[in-house]
Amino acid sequence: MYNPRELAEKVEKEVCSNNSRKYYRFRSTNFYGGCATADCLGCNLRCVYCWAQKKVWNPKRIGRFYSPAEVCQKLLNFKQPLIRISGGEPTLCKNHLLLVIESLPKNALFILETNGILLDENYVKLMSNYDNLYVRVSLKGVDERSFEKITGAEGKYFANQLKALELLNKYKIEHRAAILVDLFNKEDIQKLNLPNLEYESLIKYPFVKNALKDRNII
């Protein structure tokens, strides 16, 4: 098991450089009905079902650094109303992320997809300055045990995900939580007692099915 905050510090040394961050592609996607997407490198979790793990977990091998201005320009070129950073964990390289959001036009909605582990009060308070921000926290479990099994991280950090939701509510930032319904039973999901919880379906790539089997996750 590992500490995801300590892993974040280690990964940031590889994917953050001053206010720039490492990315491996920019694309237009159909998510949310049409969304310009920047796929970043580096994450502070090692989720068993991560579709981008070969790239995201090995940031030294691919991609290059982009400044906030370069990221914004590439995303705006797709002429989509919604913008997001995906692939890895966007909340790494905090200054870079905030500058990207700040540099976007006010009519461009930025969707932050995050595991929420790094969203402490200071971070969330800074994010509350932006009106064009929507946060989607992807839960990696329904309790400490399931979080530990899926991510390989210390189970106590599941509380950080729930705390992030509390802080987003406190600072009145539009948000919702999302969870993979394939991996948990209905009763355990309901015990979370979260409003507007979004249900996701697992993309069962062959390597994902094998990884789930190896960790005895059904």
Residue type, 213: K
pLDDT of res. 85: 95
At CB < 8 A and 24+ separation, what contacts does 48-54 make?
48/149, 48/150, 48/151, 48/152, 48/208, 48/211, 48/212, 48/215, 48/217, 49/150, 49/180, 49/202, 49/203, 49/208, 49/211, 49/212, 51/203, 51/205, 51/208, 52/87, 52/88
Euclidean distance between CA atoms 120 and 35, whole angstroms: 27
pLDDT of res. 147: 96
Is the confidence at residue 137, as pLDDT, over 80? yes
SS3 of residue 163 by DSSP: helix
pLDDT of res. 124: 98
Is the confidence at residue 31, as pLDDT, over 90? no
Domains and CATH numbers, the chain: 4-213 (3.20.20.70)
Residue type, 3: N
Query: What does the mean pLDDT of the chain come to?
Result: 94
Q: What distance lies between CA 42 and its chain's CA centroid?
A: 11
CB distance 84 to 57 below 8 Å:
no
E strand intervals along 73-209: 82-87, 109-114, 133-138, 175-180, 198-200
Per residue in 37-79, pLDDT (tens digit) is 999 999 999 999 988 888 899 998 899 999 999 999 999 999 9
User: Worst-scoring range by mean pLDDT, 2-6, 105-109, 160-164?
Assistant: 105-109
Backbone angles phi and psi of 120, in degrees to 5: -85, 180
Per residue in 92-127, pLDDT (tens digit) is 999 999 999 999 998 999 999 999 999 999 999 999
Per-residue CA distances from 93 to 10, 32, 138, 143 (Å): 12, 25, 19, 28
